[in-house]
Amino acid sequence: MLRDNGRVLIRSGFGDRLEGVRWLRYFPAAQDIAAERWPTIEATAEVFATAGFEVEAHHSIPEIMAPNLGAYYRRIAVRANSTLTLIDDGDFEQGIERLYQEAAAASSTEPVVDRRDLLVLR
């Protein structure tokens, strides 16, 4: 429920804005699924337009996903993400191996930062 002139905030990944989701780099099959399953910004705006909403703003927001690449690997390796459960086991194993190799070679202790979109509708 919104007050008069209230705003709807949607913080999400969108199917037409996948470049900010780092784990998708390692799993091309998951990227294809996400592009098909996740709504686009345009489709989301169209649905809300039927209720009288208009896009007021769109921002790309950084989000720290893990303190370093090793922790990120451990997080992704549990395959808890619903999109990752939809890909073939072989595709998952290849992708997680690519991520493992990158994490093992990384000397940086910098956090892993993804970007998610914030869509503001009024």
Q: Which tens digit of pLDDT belongs to each residue from 60-119?
A: 999 999 999 999 999 999 999 999 999 999 999 999 999 999 999 987 789 999 999 999
Question: What is the rounded distance in angstroms from the CA atom of residue 114 to the CA atom of residue 65?
Answer: 6
Residue 44, judged by CB atoms within 10 A of its CB (0-12, 13-18, 19+), counts as: buried
- Domains of the chain, by residue range, sit at 8-121
**Tokens in use for 28?**
């091309």
Integer angstrom CA distances of residue 50 from 3, 46, 47, 54: 18, 7, 6, 10
Length of the chain counted residue by residue: 122
